[in-house]
Amino acid sequence: MCNSDVLYRMPAEWEPHEGTWLQWPHDGTVLPDGSVVSGYRDEIEDIWVRIATELHRGENVHILVNGDAEKAHVEEKLSESNVDFSKIDFLSVEIDDIWMRDNGPIFVRDRQGGLLITEWNFNGWGGRYPSEADAGVPVHIGKKTGIPVLTADICIEGGGIEVDGKGSLMASKTSIINDNRNPQKSQREIEASLSKHLGITNFVWISGLRGEDNNNEVTDFHIDGSARFSERGAILYKTDPYGEAAPYLLEAFERHYGELRAARDAGGNPYKLIPVPMTRKNIKGLSYKGSYLNYYIGNEVVLVPVWGDAHDALGLSIIEGQFPGRRVAGIYVCDLYKYGGAIHCVTQQQPK
């Protein structure tokens, strides 16, 4: 991709933030079968309280709430944690669910350094979930902030991409080069759009897994639970050292490792690959393990999912070593994970 075709740049997550955007859970969330999740908010909102409390010490926290009554409730919850409300603000707007990483804005800079919002035609992970309200979130945030909104010509979710801010993007093919997002779009056309809107000159693709081949993969294998760039230029990748995962997952892990070994950065250099084990045991109440890679990098803290598992301390230690100067905070996410995601999935950074 010629550099003249690159109009914008997505900063890396570890670059300075103005703040972080969240969508607060509410009891009106609808599942694909049309049923409403009972007790959704009460079950998981303490995770949001912890996220906001940890992050607001080093940046602003912007919270979408599903109406003014929800806003009052959230204010009460945060008051119990003694947050500094000068670092918190709210946007009251209809939302479907909680996954801000996927349906929310992706912030980029233009060649003059100006900030823009890109929105990427969110369609509920290939039409699997209700998405009409959530698809409008980038425009609502643009109106609130006064930041211009640019609509891209392809469909992606924020959890499906990982960038290093230096020209490289990592993603799984199944979550983007897929007819349930981008029918009749070739890999070359998709790469051209990602290059133009996010400043990408180098692609690191893993093959991924289709949701049709794995009942747990609603996202068609988002990258943010499987492989992440580190501030030190390495790639952290998920592994199961005990070989206890389902055979199709173990096959995918081996294939992805080979693809990452063959990858090069924008300067043509191989990546240092750092394995991060999954949890030692399956998550309570589920038939599969958890990943530590769905972490979120704030200005002062890295929020890492923990599971009450024997591998928690190891996962925290590996990630801490890749982000010097930031404290690491583990947040227990088992109650959230059964709905399909963890910390990175519910956060979205706004560059400073």
Q: What is the mean pLDDT of each run of 10 residues along the chain (352 residues)?
A: 72 98 95 87 97 98 95 97 97 97 98 97 96 97 98 98 98 97 97 97 97 81 97 96 92 97 97 98 93 98 98 98 96 96 98 97
What is the pLDDT, as a whole number, of residue 213? 78
Whole-structure pTM value? 0.96
In this predicted structure, what is the pLDDT of residue 5? 67
Q: Which residues pair with 170 in a beta bridge?
A: 162, 204
Residues 6+ apart with CB under 8 A from 209: 172, 174, 217, 220, 221, 248, 249, 252
Domain total for the chain? 1
Among candidate residues 174, 24, 182, the one with its CA nearest the CA of residue 92: 24
Structure tokens at 158: 């924020």
Query: What is the model's pLDDT at position 1?
Result: 47
Where residue 85 sits, what CATH number does that domain have?
Answer: 3.75.10.10
Domain carrying residue 31? 3-351
Would strands 115-119 and 106-110 be described as parallel, antiparallel, or unpaired? antiparallel
**Measured between alpha carbons, how far is 49 from 17 in angstroms, rounded to an integer?**
19
Residue located via tokens 């609130």: 144
Q: Give the side-chain half-sphere CA count within 13 A for 292.
A: 31
* Paired strand residues for 115: 109
DSSP string, 251-291: HHHHHHHHHHHH-B-TTSPBPPEEEEE--SSPPTTSSS---
Q: Which residues of 144-169 are buried (b: 16+ CB within 10 A; e: fewer)?
A: ebebebbebebbbbbbbbbbbbebbb
Residue-level pLDDT at 215:
62
Asked if 297 and 58 count as a contact pair (C-beta separation under 8 A), the reply is no
